[in-house]
Homo-oligomer: A and B are copies of this chain.
Amino acid sequence: MSYEAINLRNKFELFTETWTPKVVAEMNDYQFKVSRLVGEFIWHNHPETDETFLVVEGELRIDFRDGAVDLGPGEMFVVPRGVEHKPFAEKEVKLLIIEPRGVLNTGHEGGELTAARDVWI
């Protein structure tokens, strides 16, 4: 049988749009999604699940109501369930998001930045 590696950098070559996570793999009921971000997202939280961010290229800041974390390439952070957060990137950042299938990028806030789910690349 043929088994194929998932090359994260190559996946980013397949799209240029920002704030639109694309699924590259599933593990049980979890999804690995690549996304390009630039600028400021909205405050939101995911009451039902933790959410993992792993930076592939660039710099990401995640703001919390009482602090922030800066992530560079090869750095990750798990945002605990229910914790309000707001991703921010001064320049475009490429990252891997890991979370259960079905999670919306805007949590329960909705709005124009809400991306479609289950878009594979």
> Given A50-B27, A50-B28, A98-B27, do A77 and B6 touch, yes or no (CB 8 Å)?
yes
Q: Is the CB of B1 within 8 A of A67?
A: yes
For A71, list chain B residues within 8 Å (CB): 5
For A13, list chain B residues within 8 Å (CB): none
The range of chain A's interface size is 35 or more
Seen from chain A, the residues whose Cβ lies within 8 Å of a Cβ on chain B are 1-9, 25-28, 30, 32, 49-52, 56, 62, 64, 66-72, 74-78, 81, 98-100
For A7, list chain B residues within 8 Å (CB): 72, 74-75
Residue of B nearest to A2 (CB): B67
Q: Is the CB of B76 within 8 A of A3?
A: no
